[in-house]
Structure 1
């Protein structure tokens, strides 16, 4: 396929571009920074005109797209004022989704986040492992992701063959960042992430699977490693962090408390990297 990737210069974006190209796709990267060249165009995605123009075609770069992977965003709260985080990210996502609609791109994968489902979990989730049925935003980044999911869920009705898959990524770890797991034995390590993590290369695998299994309609999947990023057993972590919260009877010894059961069962997602 001819696939556009927004946020192609980011940690997850780079891994995604690399994987999709290795699979034989023609990939066009779009980002605010980077060196223009074959396969990459600088685009200000806050500008709808630039976004639509870039998706339709770019001279000497591409002549149209079959699918869009939208990853571009201010990645966390705190880099700019809170309201600016929301305004930027929701505007960029609306522009990307609506431009794709106008350009006739009917297969879209959208980066959502664990922040749309309770992060940093100051309040306990209703059950563990926490799954895609739970939505709760506690900062403006998460609120933006909830809004973006809502926009996507409506846009799929505007053209009957549209497929939009929202992937709720947890903390993405690059191949050179495994040193962070030196703290895995600490009692509150990754508590705000319910112990979860995902290797950037496995995040790219989830994107690839979402594209391959695209079907008309809107779907949401959690994306995390199947096992937690903590040294302690998961049931012990659940009791320590969220005493009294119901825990699945069949919870695996080190199974992630951010459920990946849906994406494993429906898309066949099996992470290829483990910090252990």
Structure 2
């Protein structure tokens, strides 16, 4: 397939681009900045005209897109004012998803976030392991992600063949980002993430599987490593962090508290890059 990847020069974007090319796909990267090259076009996705034009065709790059991976965003709160984070991300995602609709692209995977599930969990989650059945936004980045999911769920009603998959990524760790795991024995480490993390290469695996197996309609999957980022057993973490919160199943020793069961069952997602095995 010929696949467009927005935000191709970000942490997940680089891993996704590499993975899809390894799988034999023709990848065209769209981003606001990046090095000139045959597989990249500079696009300001805040501009609907640029976005739609780039999706329809780019001379010497492509004459039509088979699938779209949308990763472009201001990635966290705090980099710019809160309202800017919200307005920027919502506008970009609308432009990309609506532009894809106009361009006839019917297979889309995009980055949602643990921020749409209650991060940073100052209010305890309703149950553990936490899964896609719960949506809560506690900052403007998370509010945008929750609203993007609502928008995607409506867009698939407009086109019976349209498949949109939202991947609720937790904290994405690059190959050079594992230094913080020296804190794995500290009880407060990664509490705001339910102890979770995901290697960028496993995030890319989830994208590749979603492109392969996505069916018409809208689906949401949580994406994390299969273990926590701590050396403290998961049952002890749950009891210490969230006393009184129901634990719905018997937990493996270091099993993730951000459930990936749905992605495992429906997509065949099995993380390959765990910090304990490095």
Who is 1:221 aligned against? 221
Deviations 1:144-180 (A, max 9, x none): 0001000000000111100000000000000111111
Counterpart of 1:232 in 2: which secondary structure? coil
Report the 3-state secondary structure (helix = DSSP H, G, I; strand = E; otherwise coil) of the residue aligned with 1:41: strand
Q: Does 1:244 pair with 2:244?
A: yes
SS of the residue corresponding to residue 146 of structure 1 reads: helix
Give the C-alpha shift of residue 249 in structure 1.
2.7
2:165 paired residue number: 165
Residues matched between the structures, number: 276
- Aligned partners of 1:249, 1:149: CA distance in 2, in Å? 28
The runs of at least 4 consecutive aligned structure 1 residues that moved more than 2 Å come to: none
- The correspondence of residues 1-276 of structure 1 with structure 2, limited to 5 A, is 1-276=1-276
CA distance in 2, matches of 1:62, 1:229: 41
SS of residue paired to 1:157: helix
Aligned-pair RMSD on alpha carbons?
0.6
State the secondary structure of the residue aligned to 1:69: strand
TM-score, normalised on structure 1? 0.99
1:214 to partner: Cα distance: 1.2
Whole-angstrom CA distance in 2 between matches of 1:99 and 1:32: 17
Offset of residue 248 of structure 1: 2.1
For 1:251 and 1:151, the matched residues in 2 are separated by: 34
Separation (CA, whole Å) in 1 of partners of 2:207 and 2:22:
13
Separation of aligned partners in 2, 1:233 and 1:25: 40
In structure 2, how many angstroms separate the alpha carbons of the residues matched to 1:20 and 1:62?
Answer: 16
Q: Which runs of 5+ in 1 are unaligned?
A: none
CA distance in 2 between partners of 1:275 and 1:194 (Å): 16
Gaps of 5+ in 2: none
Q: Secondary structure at the match of 1:225?
A: coil
Query: What is the SS of the residue equivalent to 2:5?
Result: strand
Q: Distance in 1 between matches of 2:33 and 2:185?
A: 38
Cα deviations by residue, 1:214-255 (Å, 9 ceiling, x for unpaired) = 110000000000111111000100011000000123221111
